[in-house]
Amino acid sequence: MNPASLKINLKWAKPGCAIIIDFDTFDKKALEKAGYDSNPLENGSLADFKVIKAAISTQTAMCSWIWI
């Protein structure tokens, strides 16, 4: 998930479930645009979940480049 999708969909996540985060998208601009005052990956607000951080955007861009 990116910051905006995390903000909208976190209410549906049950404690203990896994949340896959697109780590590449958690920059200051995206966090502000989604309405976060602080980074949820760093402030402990996701402590009840199993957070999987993956560089999804970077990996997708690399794969796309390979096929061009």
pLDDT at 67: 60
Per-residue tens of pLDDT for the chain, all 68 residues: 999 999 999 999 999 999 999 999 999 999 999 999 999 999 999 999 999 999 988 888 777 666 65
Q: Tokens for 28? A: 């200051």
Strand ranges for the chain from DSSP E: 18-22, 50-54
Q: pTM (2 decimals)? A: 0.82
Length of the chain in terms of residues written: 68
CB 18 within 8 A of CB 49: yes
How far apart CA 21 and CA 34 sit, in angstroms, is: 14
Q: Which amino acid is residue 1, in one-letter code?
A: M
Q: Which residue(s) pair with 18 in the sheet?
A: 50
pLDDT at 68: 56
